[in-house]
Amino acid sequence: MNYITKKYRRFRLSLSPQQNLLYGFVSYTLAGWLLLCLPFFQKQAVSALDNLFIATSAISTTGLVTVSVFDTYNGFGQFVVMLLFQIGGIGYMTFTSFILLSRTGNLTHWHQRILNTEFAMPRDFQIRDFLRSVIIFTIGIETIGALCLYIAFTRAGVEHNFAVWSSIYHSVSAFCTAGFGLYNDSFEQFAGNTAVNTILSVLAICGSLGFIVVTDIWNRLTGKTRKITYTSRIIFTVLTVLLAGGTFMIYFFEPSVSTLESSRLTTSFFQAMTALTTVGFNTVPIGGFTLPVLLVVILLMYVGASPSGTGGGLKSTTLTALIAIMWSRIRNNNRVVFFGKKIPLERLYVATSVFILYATVIFVATLVLAFTEHFSLEQILFEITSAIGTVGLSTGITGDLSPWGKAVVIFVMFIGRLGVLTFGLAVMARRKLWKTRATQDDLAV
Give the pLDDT score at 16. Answer: 78
Contacts of 365 (CB under 8 A, 6+ apart): 384, 387, 388, 408, 409, 411, 412
Whether residue 128 is predicted with pLDDT greater than 80 in this model: the reply is no
Residue 388: predicted pLDDT:
97
Residue 411: pLDDT over 90: yes
pLDDT tens digits, one per residue of 224-267: 777 888 888 999 999 999 999 999 999 999 999 988 888 999 99
Residues with Cβ within 8 Å of residue 353, at least 6 apart in sequence: 421
Q: Is the pTM of this model over 0.85?
A: yes
Instruction: Tally the residues of the chain.
Output: 445
Please give the pLDDT value at position 432: 58
Question: What is the DSSP code string of 103-166?
Answer: HHS---HHHHHHHHHHHT--TT--HHHHHHHHHHHHHHHHHHHHHHHHHHHHHTT--HHHHHHH
Across all residues in the chain, what is the average pLDDT?
A: 88
- Categorize the per-residue pLDDT at 39 as very low, low, confident or very high, splitting at 50, 70 and 90: very high
Domain range annotation of the chain: 16-427
Lowest mean pLDDT among 94-98, 331-335, 438-442: 94-98
Tell me the C-alpha distance between 380 and 427, whole Å: 27
Q: Assign 44 a pLDDT band (cuts: 50, 70, 90).
A: very high
CA distance 341 to 320: 12
- Contact (Cβ atoms closer than 8 angstroms) between residue 237 and residue 204: no
Identify the weakest region by mean pLDDT among 12-21, 25-34, 210-219, 429-438. Answer: 429-438
Residue 178's pLDDT is 95
Residue-wise pLDDT tens digits, 323-340: 999 999 898 888 898 888
